[in-house]
Structure 1
Amino acid sequence: MPQTLGHSRFSAAIFDMDGLLVDSERVTLRAWMGAARARGIALAEADYLQVVGRASTDSDAMLSALLGGPQVFEQMLADVAVRLSDAGPEPLFPLKPGAAPLLHALRQAGVPCAVASSSRRDEIEHRLGRVGVLQHFHAWAGGNEVPRGKPDPALYQLAAERLGVEPAQCLAFEDSENGARAAQAAGIAVVIVPDLKHPAADVAERSHGVLKSLLQAHEHLPCWFAMAATVKN
């Protein structure tokens, strides 16, 4: 993986949501593993990780095949929905470390931001509103709004279009390999912040850089963004 981050000047930022901005992938993984154990179903963590970063239609089809068919999948889906109820006073999926100050800094510097998430558009609004950062985004694009999900580039292309910025002028932030491949296929440079698993070597080598967390991103903003020179720590 790259040890240093590329120096370029971008005009906008596009963020994945699950596993990147909010700590949802780990919680969701535990819910699926727990639901599978409760029903005596063999579901390996490595198999589940194949669906991470994909649109719901793709991930649903893959999970259905892994679980033995649509009937079992629907039963499991209902079990998982109960386990992932977000009715408590605290958000089920909290912000990842560094997300809030990074978004604030970009907004302060006048860098427009968008979300390109495999989750549905209404889920983007709910989850980011729940943790108080939705106001930092000029646009968002959900997996239900494109014909093919990540690693297809359509979601990132839509997010860039809604920002009114050419893909080459955008910098994406992703945690998953599927998401990184989607950004790269759209012609968008990507910084990878791995969550549940590290990306393949070829994806990492073609990235703009790999970070351990979003906390490390702040120091690179003046190098990455044309309008970020005013950002202060």
Structure 2
Amino acid sequence: MQNFKAVIFDMDGLLLDSERLYYASFQETCSHFRLGDLSDVFKRCLGTNSVTGKAILTKALDGLVAYDAFRTKWEHLISIVMDEIPVPLKNGAEQLLSTLKGSHTPMAVATSSDTELARTRLSDSKILPYFDCVVGGDLVSKGKPDPEIYVTAATRLDVSPSDCLALEDSGNGVRSAVSAGMIVVQVPDMIQPDDELLALGHIVLKDLSEVIRYHF
């Protein structure tokens, strides 16, 4: 039986199959500046907002290349890919959104991306109308894994965090939603949860189509 009153979604890697595109562009940027393999740096940035991501990347690039030069090249490569076609949806995303909409369940997006960029990506992928609100990383003072963004999304939906189901793919996102006191489902994308993350006791499913069949 459903025991939540609202659902809050992460975006990149959860609704949109975008993280692989970001990663490919990141690797191409590293190659451009002859930096070698910085995969671990990219992974540490997953699920963080622009401020935290900048801090991680600036530290990793110190003495190698200026952050602004790296970021400009990376964003240029991302825009080339993103402008060609809409970012594809993850498996089960549209079916889940349609099912929840049919049951009049309030829905929000809580993403580390900036709000207007998130709204554009969701609109391009034809799923923005499903959501009652979009809360980006620029609207909170502390990014994931801090719970602020999930608490903010719940407040905007006028629902208690404990009555919300949060859907995430990254470890930072899972920690954020768990700290907010929500029911948390992780659908891993590029990184599988380790034992430390699994100890939080959240639900782990293969893809969003399984959420429909899961008995909460």
Question: What band does the TM-score fall into relative to the shorter chain?
Answer: over 0.9
Is residue 99 of structure 1 aligned with residue 113 of structure 2?
no
Could you tell me which residue of structure 1 aligns to residue 78 of structure 2? 84
CA shift, 1:25, in A, is 1.0
SS of match in other structure, 2:66:
helix
Give CA deviations for 1:123-172 in whole Å, capped at 9, x if unaligned: 11101000001111111111000011000000000000000000000000
Query: 2:30·2:38 contact (CA, 8 Å) conserved in 1?
Result: no
The 10-residue stretch of structure 1 (112-121 or 79-88) with the greater mean CA deviation from structure 2: 79-88
What's 1:120 paired with? 114
Q: CA deviation at 1:70?
A: 9.7
* 8 Å contact kept, 2:12–2:111: yes
Partner of 2:204 in structure 1?
Answer: 210
Indicate yes or no: 2:61 matched with 1:67: yes
Measure the CA separation in 1 of the matches of 2:18 and 2:201.
23
Deviations 1:165-187 (A, max 9, x none): 00000000000000000001111
Per-residue CA deviation, residues 86-144 of structure 1 (Å, 9 max, x unaligned), is: 322x21x2111110110000000111111100000001110100000111111111100
Q: Which of these residues, 137, 140, 143, is aligned with residue 146 of structure 1?
A: 140
Aligned length, in residue pairs = 214
C-alpha distance in structure 1 between counterparts of 2:154 and 2:65, whole Å: 38
Query: Could you state the TM-score of these two structures normalised by the residue count of structure 2?
Result: 0.94
| Partner-residue secondary structure (3-state), 1:102 | helix
Determine helix, strand or coil for the equivalent of 1:84.
helix
Distance verdict in 2 for CA 1:41–1:70, change over 3 Å? closer
The equivalent residue for 2:187 is 193
Name the structure 1 match of 2:124: 130
**Alpha-carbon distance change, 69 to 130 in structure 1, aligned in 2, over 3 angstroms:** farther
**Distance of aligned partners of 1:128 and 1:207 in 2 relative to their CA distance in 1, 3 Å threshold:** farther
CA distance in 2, matches of 1:217, 1:21: 13
Shift in Å, 1:69: 5.7
Asked whether the equivalents of residues 53 and 177 of structure 1 are also in contact (C-alpha less than 8 Å), the reply is yes
4+ residue runs over 4 A deviation: none
Q: Structure 1: 5+ residue runs without aligned partners?
A: 1-6, 225-233
Please provide the CA RMSD for this pair: 1.5
TM-score, normalization by structure 1 = 0.87
In 2, the alpha carbon distance for the partners of 1:135 and 1:24 equals 19
Residues 80 and 167 of structure 1: CA distance in aligned 2, closer, same or farther (over 3 Å): same
Amino acid in structure 1 at the alignment position of 2:42: Y
Q: 2:152 aligns with which of 158, 164, 168?
A: 158
Mapped to 2, the partners of 1:43 and 1:146 lie a distance apart of 32
3-state SS of the aligned residue for 1:217?
A: helix
| Equivalent position SS for 1:20 | coil
CA displacement at 1:8 relative to structure 2: 5.7
**1:59–1:209 Cα change, 3 Å:** same
**8 Å contact 1:174–1:191 — kept in the other structure?**
yes
